[in-house]
Structures are given as C-alpha cells and as structure tokens.
A and B are shown apart, each in its own frame.
Chain A
C-alpha cells in the first residue's frame, strides 16, 4: 500500500475518531474484566470466609454463583465488544477506506 493512502487515512478526521472511540471502549471493557477477576481473586486470597457463607438454608455458598457469574460476564463482555466493533467500528473503517479511495 502506498504512502499516499496512509497519509490520507491519517488526515481523515474519521480515523482519529475511530481510534479514539475504539481504544476507549476496548480499555473500558478490559478494565471491567480486570476489576471483576482480581476482585474475585483478592476476596479468595484475603477473605475466603466471604465466599464460604451459605445462601439460605442449604449448602450452596456465595462463592458458587459469583464464580459462575465471572464466567458469564467474560462471555457477555466479548459479545458486547464484538457487536459494537463488527457494526459501528467496521462501518467507520469502511467509510474511511471509501473516502480514501474516492480521492484517487
């Protein structure tokens, strides 16, 4: 790909917008995942009794639904990102490419 194309992409204000929107979104979701996971791990390390508490009358403890929730959250987050990136972000990318090409 020629240098011209890259220069035009760089000059396109949509490119800056795309990069800014996408990286903010990606980092936000990463931080959510990191906070959820390390909160889980740190409770286990510092306060295992929290997860050992029983829910209601039976033997099921708080830790079980919390652990399963971490798995579900991980999956849901990938869904949220894929949904927006494959829609909005890819559309923006496509527009940028079209505009760059139409100048030629």
Chain B
C-alpha cells in the first residue's frame, strides 16, 4: 500500500479481508474522523505543554502540580491499556467467570501500593523510583540495576503494546501493520519529546475519560436490553452458549502454585512498574499521592466491572449472530479480542463502532507514551545524570539527553514492533510483571522498610531475582513450548513470581547480613534520616509554582 492510497484504504473498513464484513465498509469514516480529532487535540495539548515544560522537573513530573484526582485518572489511564480493555472483555466473552479472576488480580495490587508504598515514594523520590531505592545506598550500582529493571519492564511492555497496536489498527482501519506501528511511534515521540510529563498526563486523562465513557455507554446499553437484571443477562448468555460453564471457575487457574504465583506477580508487579511509580512524583505531596491511588482504584475497579458486563453482553449479542461470525475459522471474526469492538457495533451501529475504535487507538498511544517517558527517564536521570556524570550535570543537558533517549526508544519500539509482528508475544506482559515483582519491587520495598539493607544485598538479591524470573519464564510453557517449539515445559507452572520473588527477598536478606563493610555500616546509619523523611515528608521535593 502506498501513502497516496492511505486515505482511500483508511476509508474502507476491511475486516481481515472478510467478505461478511465488506458490506459495512463506509463506517470507518467516523472512526477516522474521531481519531483525527483526538490526534489534533492531543497535538494541541502537546504544543500547550511544550511551552510550560522548561525545567527537568517539568519534563519528568509536570512540575509536580498535578492534582490527586487528575493523577488518579492518569494512573487509571496508564493501567487501562487497549490490551486490558479488549483482552479482558475478550476473556470474559470466551471464558465467562475466569475473566473476572484476571481483572481482580490486576486490581488488588493498588490497595497494597497505597498502604505501603505511595506516600513513602512521594516523600523520598524526585523523578524515578531509583531515586528512592538509591536514597542511602551507593548510586552507581543501585541506579544501574534499577534502570535495567525499568528498561526491561518498559521494553517488554512496549513490544506487547506496539504489536497489539499494529494488529488492532490493521483490523480496525485497514491500514498496513508497518504504517500503523510507525504512526504510533512518531506520535508518541512527539508527545513525549515536546510535551514531557504534562502532555503525557493530559493525553492519558483524556483517553481515560473517553474509554470510561465509551465502556459505560456499552455496559448501560447492554443492561438496558436485559432490563437491568444481571440474572437475565447471565441466563441469556448461558442460553446463547448452551452451557453454564461460563458461570463458574474453569481451567484458567488450575493448580494452587500457579494460582498463587500469578496472584503475586499481578499484585506486587504493579508496585514495581516504573511508568506507574513515576506518576507519584507528579503530585505535590503525600496527601495528593494517596488521593491518586484512591481515585485510580475506583476508576480501575469500575472499568473492570464494565468489561465484565461487556464480555457477557458480547456472549449474548455475538455468539449466534452470523454478522459477526467467521464462517471459515469458526468463532467471531478477528478472534476473542475483537468481541468488545463487535459489541460496540451491535449496540450503537457504525458511529459508535467508530468511536470505540478511535478510543482503542487513543488508548494505545497514551499507554506507549507513558512507557516511553519512564524508559527515557531511566536512561537520562539514572544512567546518564547519576551514573555516567555522577550527579554533576546541568539540567539542560539532562533534559536534552532525555529527549534524545525518547527519540531513540521510539525508534527502537518501532523496529521491535515490526520485528515481533508474527511472534507469539503472549508471555511478554507476564514477564514484565514478573521482573517488576522480582527485581524492582523487592529493592524498592526493602530500601524503605528494612534498615539493614545494604548496597551489596540489594544488587545481589535484585539481580538474582531478575535472573530467576527471566530463566523461569524461558523454561515455562509460554516460551519453551509456544515460542521455541519444544515438546514439554521444564518449569511446570504458569508464572515464576512465587520462586523469583522468594529468591530476591532471601538473596537481599542474606547478602545484606553478610555485608560487614564500612560502607554498609554507613548505609544502615543513614536509614534513620531516610525514615524520618519518608514518614513526615520533611525535606521532600515540593511542587514548583507555575
């Protein structure tokens, strides 16, 4: 496809080139128009934000002037990716109750973040969570490890988002995969490079509002059709599926070890995701940090209830409707992940389908922007300013480096997105959560709560946790069998967290206690100072006046 033909093909809604759907090709005009409005609006915001982004503090944390409510929406936006909107409603569509198990796992990390991490993080940190981890430990090794943990998490997440974006846009807009990935990459570079955290936050907020409104409308329309009775919704779904299996736990969570391990990865991984942790520095103080989590948990919980309703609505509306079924492959056109999109069409026709498609695209853009900013900060603030230049760097230079890092990361993301097009990437988000739970989280958590933590302990334990997580994922079914093509998996469980987190915590504990050096003594002494600041906020970075 040539660029000149782009507009033409954009206007034809080629649903996986399926003849069944070709009769509905005009609808995409509305999707494109709405998407273009979103792009123009967000570019306008970027222009506005760029004028207000002068210092490094502006760039990394939007000047620390975001309110708790705004940040709560932005956090929810970071978390409600297209993968979770389409993926979880798709999972509910296919498996019913089991989809709920996943969304609950993704949610329950938030209260833990609030109770144990959020305010300490806000009181101790400046731009990245490495600021907190390295507060009283040696800068070079801790920041290097924390930056590697961040970059690994960000890269895996980015690949998953980019591939998802390419495939989704290909189906929704009929645009070639490569063009879709390049377009996402360029827009995200523009937002982050020019608008920094301020633009990224507002893109995230707008998208969160659009996504919540769209999903609310769908859920209300579904509930309206069943007279606002869950029993009617469920009984129609059971009738459509001709099976009541969707109402009970199925095979998704089978053995106890896998179940607990998955729960640990989801719960503590959330508390180790660098793009999420970074959001806590955008608010002025601990009070606003707490409010952020309160609102975020509310929005995310509400969103998961909506996806649950949408998934069941999809069962009722799509299962026996020939308009949405794939006559050759069976099941619905485009697979389970498309169920929310088809449901949008079944409910609100072409116009609403266009709206939901545009929202899904906006969601991807917003999430990759947040990820890229977190990755660029790990490079410029941790690796460049504090490791390479040992803290002796002027702000302008650091900002320049972060902008170049953004561009570099964007280009890398485009290439990785294209390289992984045909790969099985199902393991990537799981691996990202496992690394976050087994390397980032233990170091961050113990640096705040355990006095006797030393640099040596954090580096050895954190590295061992990281290594264990990666090795176990490679040996598990998702990579060893599904990607590498071996017959049986060496690691029998679905998720490594139960072991890799244990390795990290035991490793950090053991190596810290073994460390009898003078440096270690100083690090232990410095805990008290850190503790007072973490508890009271005395000496913490405040908001700058604009």
**A residues with CB within 8 A of B:** 1, 5-6, 9-10, 15, 18-19, 22, 26-27, 29-30, 33-34, 37-38, 40-42, 44-46, 48-49, 51-52, 58-61, 63-64, 67-68, 70-72, 74-75, 77-79, 81-82, 85-86, 90, 93, 96-97, 100
Consensus secondary structure, chain B interface: helix
A67 contacts B100, C-beta separation under 8 Å: yes
Inter-chain contacts of B322 with A (CB < 8 A)? none
A74 contacts B116, C-beta separation under 8 Å: no
Q: Is B539 close to A, CB under 8 A?
A: yes
B116 contacts A30, C-beta separation under 8 Å: yes
Inter-chain contacts of A27 with B (CB < 8 A)? 115
B230 contacts A64, C-beta separation under 8 Å: yes
A78 contacts B304, C-beta separation under 8 Å: no
Q: Is B528 close to A, CB under 8 A?
A: yes
Q: Indicate which residue in A30, A44, A74, A96 contacts B253 across the interface (CB closer than 8 Å).
A: A44
Inter-chain contacts of A100 with B (CB < 8 A)? 538
Inter-chain contact total with CB atoms closer than 8 Å: 158
B259 contacts A74, C-beta separation under 8 Å: no
Report the Cα distance A85→B114, complex, angstroms: 11
Q: Is B33 close to A, CB under 8 A?
A: no
Q: A63-B247, A78-B293 are in contact. List 12 more A-B contacts (CB 8 A).
A: A10-B528, A19-B535, A29-B111, A30-B116, A33-B115, A59-B244, A61-B247, A67-B101, A71-B103, A74-B297, A82-B114, A85-B286
Report the Cα distance A29→B538, complex, angstroms: 25
Report the Cα distance A46→B309, complex, angstroms: 27
Inter-chain contacts of B104 with A (CB < 8 A)? 37, 40, 67, 70-71
Supposing A9-B536, A15-B536, A27-B115 touch, asked if A45 and B253 sit within 8 A by C-beta, the answer is yes
Contact with A along B218-260 (1 / 0, CB 8 A): 0000000000001100110010000010011100011110011
Contact with A along B284-308 (1 / 0, CB 8 A): 0011001101100110010011001
Inter-chain contacts of B112 with A (CB < 8 A)? 30, 33-34
B301 contacts A74, C-beta separation under 8 Å: yes
Inter-chain contacts of A79 with B (CB < 8 A)? 294
**B residues with CB within 8 A of A:** 97, 100-101, 103-105, 107-108, 110-112, 114-116, 119, 230-231, 234-235, 238, 244, 247-249, 253-256, 259-260, 263, 267, 286-287, 290-291, 293-294, 297-298, 301, 304-305, 308, 528-529, 532-533, 535-539
Supposing A42-B256, A71-B305, A78-B297 touch, asked if A59 and B107 sit within 8 A by C-beta, the answer is no
Report the Cα distance A100→B532, complex, angstroms: 13
**A–B Cβ pairs within 8 angstroms, 7 of them:** A38-B263, A44-B259, A51-B97, A64-B97, A71-B304, A74-B111, A85-B287
A15 contacts B535, C-beta separation under 8 Å: yes
Inter-chain contacts of B253 with A (CB < 8 A)? 41, 44-45
Most-contacted residue by chain B among A19, A42, A70 (CB, 10 A):
A70
B115 contacts A41, C-beta separation under 8 Å: no
Inter-chain contacts of A59 with B (CB < 8 A)? 231, 234-235, 238, 244, 247
Q: Indicate which residue in A38, A68, A71, A85 contacts B119 across the interface (CB closer than 8 Å).
A: A85
A68 contacts B115, C-beta separation under 8 Å: no
Q: Indicate which residue in B110, B249, B529 contacts A51 across the interface (CB closer than 8 Å).
A: B249
B259 contacts A41, C-beta separation under 8 Å: yes
B234 contacts A58, C-beta separation under 8 Å: yes
Supposing A19-B535, A45-B255, A52-B247 touch, asked if A60 and B234 sit within 8 A by C-beta, the answer is yes
A58 contacts B287, C-beta separation under 8 Å: no
Q: Indicate which residue in A26, A37, A48, A85 contacts B263 across the interface (CB closer than 8 Å).
A: A37
Inter-chain contacts of B528 with A (CB < 8 A)? 6, 10
Most-contacted residue by chain B among A46, A52, A78, A82 (CB, 10 A):
A78
